Structure 1
Amino acid sequence: MIEARSLTKRYGKTLAVNDLSFSVAAGRVTGFLGPNGAGKSTTMRMMLGLDNPTAGQVTIGGKRYHELKYPLRTVGALLDAKWVHPNRSARAHLAWMAKSNKLPAKRVDEVLDAVGLSGVAGKRAGGFSLGMSQRLGIAAALLGDPEVLLFDEPVNGLDPEGILWIRKFMHRLAEEGRTVFVSSHLLSEMALTASELVVIGKGELISQSTTTEFVSRASENTVKVRSPQLPQLRAALQQAGTEVREDEGASLLVSGMDSDRIGELAAANNFVLHELSPQQGSLEQAFMQITGDSVEYHTELENEAQQVLAGQTDPLVPSNR
């Protein structure tokens, strides 16, 4: 388990992290989200003792990182896939890490095999592609068979096959009972990977919840309705006090009435229904809506994109620029 309590980091006059508290439980993948400049990387560096907090603390398994005698046995991390010396082979890189934490040499080949790098173990890391470097970084994180794993942008720049592999790998690690904490800007991927979310902005906690709760809290509850009697159904829905707007194709999006009541209204008026489906917003929409005030810099186009994702403007209506 990871526990952050009143974590604060100041660089001169800049407050990078401000009184941040959250916890990360074992047995699940927890996503760490926030706009650029939110303080995610600084927070993760403080977790690993690379930066000292100005105030507060982070504990991993009840201890601060510098209190761990053999840290790789408790926590594994991937913060920068390209930090490996380019002239070292993958095996040599892992071998010195294993030796520094008194890990058996056989563990090197075990983790190389786990991430699919056994065939290139003797090649120089400087010649690795980004995907191979990410796999080597994950192998290093797994070296001590730790209970806690931290990953910063692990799928950045990967092809679809690599992204799918890392997603399944993280799920497997969580299923083994490990604590998996992942920072990423790829919200569509986080929606598929993380069951829990810690969301920060301007160095402060915005939300900690399940991914489903986060999306539901930010999204408008709507129901998609299709019917061959759409004009009549629309009039009946509006008379019942709902908000109705046209969706793509011959369908309506209804707010203010759940699917059960819409079905009952249609049946009472002998309207035929071809579709009646509750609509759930995306993680991207929820993120833009909830963190909008925490983004430090906006261009005009970014402001418009945020309004579209939040459902405040129609993407098909041109702006006045």
Structure 2
Amino acid sequence: MIEVVGLTKKYGSTTAVDDLTFTVRPGIVTGFLGPNGAGKSTTMRMILGLETSSSGRALIDGKPYAALERPLTQVGALLDANWIHPSRSAKAHLKFLAATNNLPTARVATVLDLVGLSSVANKAAGKFSLGMKQRLGLASALLGDPKILLFDEPVNGLDPEGIFWIRNFMKQLASEGRTVLVSSHLLSEMAQTADHLVVIGQGRLIADCSTADFTERSSQSFVRVRSPRLPDLAAALQAAGIASTATGNGPDAALQVTGTPIEQIGDIAGRAGVFLHELSVQGGSLEQAFIELTASSVQYGDASKAAAATSSSGVRS
């Protein structure tokens, strides 16, 4: 488990991370989101002891990173896929890490196979594509078989097949009971990968909740209903105190219902004997929710839109 408590980082008069508190629990993938400059990478570096906090603390299973014995066996991280020496082969790089951390050499072949790099194990890392370097970084993070993993933008440079692979890979790691914290700007991918979200802006916590809850509470979603008996359904909804709006014509005619659970609408239709051709939730994407909630925290953007978003939304958990 990762615990961040009152974490603050200042560079002179600039506050990069501001009294940040959250917990990353095992068994799920936690997405770490925020606009550029929000403080995500700085926070991850402080968790790993690469930056010294101005105040507060970051603990890994109750201890600061510097107090861990054989840290590679407890924490694995991928923060920068380009840090590997370009002349060293993938296998040589991992053997070096294994030797300096007193890990079994046999583990090298295992992690190369896990990330799909066995066929290029003897190729110099400098000749790797960015996607291949990301995979090698993942192999390095997994070398000590740690229970806690931190990944900063791990899908950078990956093709669609690679993105699909890493999505399932992250889920598999979490299903094994590991603690997985993933930072990414690909919101559509995070919507499919992360079970829980920690969202920050300008170094401050904006939301700490499940992905579904973040999307539902932070953006305007509605239920779309189609039926050959729309007027009857509208009347039944009205009798239950639920307003609906008619949209479209002909085959596209539908009712739009806001603020009512989809199950309740289905139950009302059933009691009224109204057959439904469609009953679906529309809108409410993670991307939309993210834009709404972080608009006022974007370093460079449309100030008028930020002000409007600030006045119309707000989730703090």
Alignment TM-score, normalising by the size of structure 2:
0.87
User: For residues 208 and 112 of structure 1, do their structure 2 counterparts lie closer, same or farther at Cα, with a shift above 3 Å needed?
Assistant: same
For the pair 1:246 / 2:252, whether they are aligned, the reply is: no
Q: CA deviation at 1:50?
A: 1.2
SS at match of 2:10: strand
Contact 1:215 1:281 in 2 (8 A): yes
Q: CA deviation at 1:211?
A: 1.0
User: For residues 17 and 251 of structure 1, do their structure 2 counterparts lie closer, same or farther at Cα, with a shift above 3 Å needed?
Assistant: same
Letter in 2 for 1:82: N
Per-residue CA distance 1:295-315 (angstroms, 9 max, x = gap): 222148x949x97xx99xxxx
| Identity, % of aligned positions | 59
Distance between the aligned counterparts of 2:271 and 2:145, measured in 1?
62
User: For residues 258 and 49 of structure 1, do their structure 2 counterparts lie closer, same or farther at Cα, with a shift above 3 Å needed?
Assistant: closer
User: For residues 247 and 105 of structure 1, do their structure 2 counterparts lie closer, same or farther at Cα, with a shift above 3 Å needed?
Assistant: farther
Structure 1 residues without counterparts, runs of 5 or longer: 312-321
Q: CA deviation at 1:217?
A: 1.4
Q: CA deviation at 1:96?
A: 1.2
Distance between the aligned counterparts of 1:171 and 1:256, measured in 2?
32
Structure 2 residues without counterparts, runs of 5 or longer: none
Per-residue CA distance 1:9-28 (angstroms, 9 max, x = gap): 00111100000011111111
Contact 2:234 2:244 in 1 (8 A): no
Distance between the aligned counterparts of 2:72 and 2:299, measured in 1?
36
Match of 1:153 in 2: 153
User: For residues 247 and 216 of structure 1, do their structure 2 counterparts lie closer, same or farther at Cα, with a shift above 3 Å needed?
Assistant: farther
Alignment of 1:90-169 (within 5 A): 90-169=90-169
User: For residues 159 and 11 of structure 1, do their structure 2 counterparts lie closer, same or farther at Cα, with a shift above 3 Å needed?
Assistant: same
Distance between the aligned counterparts of 1:200 and 1:36, measured in 2?
10
Distance between the aligned counterparts of 2:77 and 2:305, measured in 1?
35
Q: CA deviation at 1:251?
A: 2.4
Per-residue CA distance 1:74-116 (angstroms, 9 max, x = gap): 1010001111111110011111111111112121111111111
277-286 or 252-261, which deviates more: 252-261
Distance between the aligned counterparts of 1:43 and 1:21, measured in 2?
11
Root mean square deviation, CA, Å: 2.7
Match of 1:180 in 2: 180
SS at match of 1:27: coil
SS at match of 1:140: helix
Contact 1:197 1:208 in 2 (8 A): yes
Q: CA deviation at 1:228?
A: 3.6
User: For residues 52 and 260 of structure 1, do their structure 2 counterparts lie closer, same or farther at Cα, with a shift above 3 Å needed?
Assistant: closer
SS at match of 1:133: helix
Per-residue CA distance 1:230-288 (angstroms, 9 max, x = gap): 57766886796615253693323222444466557667887654223344621112212
Contact 2:27 2:178 in 1 (8 A): yes
Q: CA deviation at 1:210?
A: 1.2
Alignment of 1:259-298 (within 5 A): 259=262, 262=265, 273-279=276-282, 281-298=284-301
SS at match of 2:144: coil
Contact 1:89 1:125 in 2 (8 A): yes
User: For residues 131 and 259 of structure 1, do their structure 2 counterparts lie closer, same or farther at Cα, with a shift above 3 Å needed?
Assistant: closer
User: For residues 271 and 152 of structure 1, do their structure 2 counterparts lie closer, same or farther at Cα, with a shift above 3 Å needed?
Assistant: same
User: For residues 126 and 243 of structure 1, do their structure 2 counterparts lie closer, same or farther at Cα, with a shift above 3 Å needed?
Assistant: same
Figure out how many residues of one structure are paired with residues of the other and give that number.
Answer: 307
Match of 1:28 in 2: 28
